[in-house]
Structure 1
Amino acid sequence: MTNSAIDSTRPATAGAWGAVLSMSLCVAMLIAAEFMPVSLLTPMAEGLGATTGQTGQAISISGFLAVATSLLVTTLAGRLNRKSVLIALTALMFVSLAMVAAAPSFLVLMVARALLGICIGGFWALATSVLMRLVPIDEVPRALGIMYGGQAIAAAFAAPVGSYLGDIIGWRGVFWALTPIVAINLVWHVVALPSLPAGAPRSFSTFGELLGRRYFRRGLLAVALSWGSAFTMFTYLRPFLEQVTGVDVTMLSALLLALGCAGFVGSSVSGRVVGSHVERLLCLPALVMGACTLALLFLGGSWIAAGLLLAVWGAMNTAMSVIWMSWMSRNVEDQPEAAGSLMVAVIQASILMGAMVGGLLLDYLSVTATFAGSSIIALAAVLVAFNGKRLSKPRA
């Protein structure tokens, strides 16, 4: 079977679902490794003799490397077996975590975070195409829901658990505690993942061919606006809740935990309900999340209303990934690796740009302007996606 040859009639074996679960754990570890420093920023800066701002930049460098790697991995990997590539990326994550835990200087921390960025970009660029080879095409949304369930769990628990353990065993101890889990995941990959031979070599011209497809270009624009809107708001959620809702640290943690738990529900449910007409759902994430963000501007003074709105937002946030990756699996099934690379690059770049736009609005206007800007971007995403017809591959 080639990369693009998917048998929609064969049942997924227990071994295939074991491989999907292995990838879900890898996702959880990637998200935990990427965002754990957010809750440990101050002690990390003190321990490395750096400023808080410098340490924050070390965190963001992983995002820049993820963009570059997502575009390069499918060409640089060439004819390498994709199982070997995923194992190598997971091993690199292990090395990155160990380097952060043992970092004697800020420079070593920067290098370790750069390595993590390579893991993030490489894994996400290949993830959907690998799932398309593990399970039948009709089961891909469910497999995506399981995989993104790992993301939701990590997003819900990484920050509060990291902050709690950091007070007990120190920030270095937190990162050391992640390494045995990644080591187990590495062994699981070796055992569970089947051999995944590479298809024909890909060149950068493949990207040009994909971008020449009008429906795919429109899809990428909708993806950029959807994720850009989400992270224009999400990056600055804490100052909004502190300034507008007036929560203390305990209530803030509870609201963020509720958001993360709702995300797990969203990934699970969306994986089961997304069907063959996924195009009709493409505008739904931006529509619901944008509406929730707008509603927070009017109802955010109540922590109860804020909690309910954030729960809906969180559920749709993870559903967004399942919906859009399912769209890709059905409309670009002939070039899943190249399409995945482009989508991951666009998503990572949109996250960075969303955070930048939101920060400018916050600094020069107010946090309410940040949320209003997020709602406007969401409206643009809805208008681009609309009913999905212009984002569908022409059918014979």
Structure 2
Amino acid sequence: MTAAATSKAKAEPAAAWGAVFSMALCVAMLIASEFMPVSLLTPMAQGLGASEGQTGQAISVSGLFAVAASLLVTTAAGRLNRKWVMVAMTALMLISLALVAAAPNFAMLMLGRALLGVCIGGFWALATAVIMRLVPEGDVPRALSLMYGGQAIAAAFAAPIGSYLGGLFGWREVFWALTPIVAINLAWHVMALPSLPAGRPQDFRAMLGLLKRRYFLAGLIAAMLSWGSAFTMFTYLRPFLERVTGADVTLLSVLLLVLGCAGFLGAWAAGRFLTGNVAPLLKLPALLMGGCTLGLLLLGGSAVAAGLLLALWGAMNTAMSVIWMAWMAQNADDAPEAAGSVMVAAIQASILLGAVVGGLLLDAMSIQATFIGGVALAAAAIALIGDGRRMLKPQ
């Protein structure tokens, strides 16, 4: 082995796959906690005496606090060991779930969701940078796909099981059921994550420096449009399926299960085929997911058509996260924590905007208007991305 190869081998971390799987479980719990109100929107609204549009803001408030936390965590954490920051974020998720489950009113629900937002922002801002330190460089796409496999697990089982159990036992019991799993994940983090000392402190100047890079800014805006399109539709999927498709609780659970199970295929495909140049893949999420939303507008009255479209949407949903985070890892590898903070803030802001605008359109106009808004955002993303080459850093 040459001296250069020996030096590179020493620089690369030994693969800590147990820690990667612990991160994947945390992702599953975060996604389940963040978007569980989607599958429980109607009963939660009834139980808290609020409209469906208002209750949908329970997602937007977590997004608001996630934006703030994602921008602050890398600077606020300073020299803290990143292992213990991740442990603290998971503990905060546990507290949030307990507050939501016990919420006597809408205000307490929003407080619990705000705490969850801090956890979401803090975790995601550091997650890709942590994964990059857990495995060698060549294994990063695979590790990312495994981590986002947690997203597929949550999408596959959290929404349909939440919808079904919510119908049997009540929405509060669904949130209580998540707490022991998060407690187990907290203990797994402590045991599996290696010590991750902080590197060079990141500040807002590093984040602003990234925004001055035209290719990074263009990619960031395209990612925001892609996520905004997805969650303008997804946040209000249950009302659409109930009103347009005519789904009862059983059919709703089946359709959400189809959507979620397809996410495993998306995560596997992204990890399997995402190698080298990511540019041609950047527009796929907006193209396919926006097309599925349009398809639901045209064919959503059929349960079979809705199921097929949701399967394609679900597969692309998990692939979207892997595609864009791989883009970030490849094009901001010199400042991964700062890039993670900016990226997560942008994504959460787009989710927040999608939930807010979608809720306003739903309450003021119709569920169809909400979905049309999602299609418009997808079209804007496709137009901006083009062939994707403008979003790659100069070689």
Shorter-chain TM-score above 0.5? yes
1:245/1:122 CA distance change after superposition, 3 Å: same
Residue 111 of structure 1 aligns with which residue? 111
Residue 279 of structure 2 aligns with which residue? 279
The CA distance in 2 between the partners of 1:100 and 1:375, in whole Å, is 32
Q: Which runs of 5+ in 2 are unaligned?
A: 1-6
Give the residue type in structure 2 aligned to 1:122.
Answer: G
Is 1:82 equivalent to 2:93 in the alignment? no
The CA distance in 2 between the partners of 1:93 and 1:296, in whole Å, is 33
1:122/1:12 CA distance change after superposition, 3 Å: same
- Structural mapping, 1:233-248, within 5 Å: 233-248=233-248
Q: TM-score, with normalisation over the residues of structure 2? A: 0.89
Residue 152 of structure 2 aligns with which residue? 152
Say which is worse superposed, 269-278 or 233-242, in terms of deviation: 233-242
Is 1:212 equivalent to 2:212 in the alignment? yes
The CA distance in 2 between the partners of 1:378 and 1:9, in whole Å, is 44
Say which is worse superposed, 192-201 or 29-38, in terms of deviation: 29-38
Say which is worse superposed, 72-81 or 238-247, in terms of deviation: 238-247
Residue 293 of structure 1 aligns with which residue? 293
Give the residue type in structure 2 aligned to 1:297.
Answer: L
Give the residue type in structure 1 aligned to 2:140.
Answer: V
Deviation sequence 1:301-353 (CA, Å, 0-9, x none) = 33222211211111011101100000000000011111111111111111121
- Note the aligned Cα RMSD (angstroms): 2.6
Residue 384 of structure 2 aligns with which residue? 384
The CA distance in 2 between the partners of 1:9 and 1:367, in whole Å, is 56
Q: Which runs of 5+ in 1 are unaligned?
A: 1-5
Equivalent position SS for 1:199: coil
Give the residue type in structure 2 aligned to 1:318.
Answer: T
Residue 393 of structure 1 aligns with which residue? 393
- Structural mapping, 1:9-20, within 5 Å: 13=14, 16-20=16-20
- Structural mapping, 1:155-234, within 5 Å: 155-166=155-166, 170-234=170-234
Residue 26 of structure 2 aligns with which residue? 26
Give the residue type in structure 2 aligned to 1:198.
Answer: A
- Structural mapping, 1:131-150, within 5 Å: 131-150=131-150
Residue 3 of structure 1 aligns with which residue? none
Is 1:339 equivalent to 2:339 in the alignment? yes
1:38/1:310 CA distance change after superposition, 3 Å: closer
CA contact (8 A) 2:202 2:337 kept: no
Say which is worse superposed, 366-375 or 224-233, in terms of deviation: 366-375
Say which is worse superposed, 382-391 or 234-243, in terms of deviation: 234-243
Say which is worse superposed, 91-100 or 26-35, in terms of deviation: 91-100
Give the residue type in structure 2 aligned to 1:294.
Answer: L
Deviation at 1:166, TM superposition (A): 4.1
CA contact (8 A) 2:59 2:355 kept: no
CA contact (8 A) 1:12 1:136 kept: yes
1:137/1:109 CA distance change after superposition, 3 Å: same
Give the residue type in structure 2 aligned to 1:18.
Answer: G
Deviation at 1:241, TM superposition (A): 3.0
1:370/1:71 CA distance change after superposition, 3 Å: same
The CA distance in 1 between the partners of 2:394 and 2:45, in whole Å, is 53
1:26/1:290 CA distance change after superposition, 3 Å: same
Deviation sequence 1:261-286 (CA, Å, 0-9, x none) = 11122112211210111122111111
Equivalent position SS for 1:194: coil
Q: TM-score, with normalisation over the residues of structure 1? A: 0.89
